[in-house]
Amino acid sequence: MRVLVYDSNHTIRDNITTILLMQGYDVVAVKDKKHILPTCSKMPFSIAIIETSPYDEEANNILEKMYYNDVYKNIKVLIYVPEITPGFVSKMFKIGVAGILFKPFNEKDFFNRFSNILSKSNLLPKRLKYPVIGNVNYDIVFRHEETKQIVHSMILEISARGLKFLIPNEHVRLNVGYNIQLVYMSIGSYKMTFSLNIIEVIDKEYIGLFENLSSFDHKVICKFIYEKYIEKNLIS
């Protein structure tokens, strides 16, 4: 499910994008509101999160154009506002806004509210495809219990859920369902540990899902994914 995110504050925009990526949403961020309509007309979106206020005429005009133009009819719009005034909410609902998210930004409250709005609108996706980043240039290290060898494996792809990695050693084989109890990985100078549950084997390539990964380490991984991902998914 693809989500467009616009917020004039780059920190909030980046935080929202990172949260949604962590939860498995495909995200395209725009940092200038003039790019909202062109971006929405170029690629399909299910949801748009757009910052506005009762006093932001430009953003509110964009919302009206999205409502009256059939090009955008399949996009559910959520607005992100610092405040509301009498009549503003009813005006927004009249032009098709599906829900309201309130500032100031709070990670937990934001995603809970976002999910509740989607649930009430029957928009919660049954399955999410987590963005995958290739060309990672990092390794994982673990001990193979059967051979007692220390294995260095090259990461081929990484997502918020797990890894795809290569084991060049001919003597080390992992089966589907195998659990690597202790995996070491570094992102830059930061080191972390976790477990991996193997869910797919393709020749010497393996796909494993993270287990026993701390919340902080998960955020470090997702920040890395975001920085790589945003390079090709940020509209100027």
What CATH number should be reported for the domain holding residue 117? 3.40.50.2300
> Do residues 63 and 79 lie in contact, with contact meaning Cβ atoms separated by under 8 Å?
yes
DSSP secondary structure string for all residues of 178-229: -EEEEEEEEETTEEEEEEEEEEEEETTEEEEEEES--HHHHHHHHHHHHHHH
CA distance 160 to 79: 26
Same domain, 35 and 71: yes
Q: Write a three-state SS string for 10-40.
A: HHHHHHHHHHHHHCCCEEEEECCHHHHHHHH
Same domain, 83 and 164: no
Question: Angle at Cα 210 formed by Cα 212 and Cα 138, nearest 5°?
Answer: 115
Output the average pLDDT for the chain. 89
- Cross-strand pairs, 78: 49, 99
- Please tell me the pTM assigned to this model: 0.70
The CA–CA distances, whole Å, from 167 to 19, 45, 142, 172, 224 equal: 31, 38, 11, 7, 23
Same domain, 118 and 201: no
pLDDT tens column, 51-60: 999 999 999 9
Same domain, 26 and 109: yes
Residue listed under structure tokens 């309509």: 37
At which of 105, 129, 153 does a domain end? 129
Could you give the dihedral angle defined by the CA atoms of residues 31, 53, 79 and 97, in that order, rounded to the nearest 10 degrees? -130
**pLDDT at position 233:** 61
Is 60 a domain residue? yes
Choose the weakest-confidence range: 9-18, 96-105, 120-129, 195-204. Answer: 120-129
Is 232 a domain residue? no
Residue listed under structure tokens 């990484």: 158
Same domain, 122 and 137: no
Is 234 a domain residue? no
106 pLDDT tier (thresholds 50, 70, 90)? confident
Higher-confidence residue of 159 and 227: namely: 159
Q: For residue 22, is pLDDT > 90? A: no
Q: For residue 137, is pLDDT > 80? A: no
CATH code of residue 218: 2.40.10.220
Same domain, 125 and 139: no
At which of 79, 101, 129 does a domain end? 129
**pLDDT at position 59:** 97
Is 235 a domain residue? no
Task: Give me the number of domains the chain comprises.
Answer: 2
Residue listed under structure tokens 């796909």: 207
Same domain, 46 and 146: no
Choose the weakest-confidence range: 98-107, 109-118, 119-128. Answer: 119-128
At which of 69, 103, 129 does a domain end? 129
Same domain, 94 and 174: no
**pLDDT at position 227:** 77
What mean pLDDT comes out for the span 81-110? 91
Same domain, 13 and 123: yes
Residue 179 belongs to what domain range? 133-227
Higher-confidence residue of 63 and 220: namely: 63
Is 114 a domain residue? yes
Is 10 a domain residue? yes
33 pLDDT tier (thresholds 50, 70, 90)? very high
Same domain, 15 and 103: yes
pLDDT tens column, 220-231: 888 888 777 666
pLDDT tens column, 168-184: 888 889 999 999 999 99
Same domain, 75 and 118: yes
234 pLDDT tier (thresholds 50, 70, 90)? low
Same domain, 192 and 172: yes
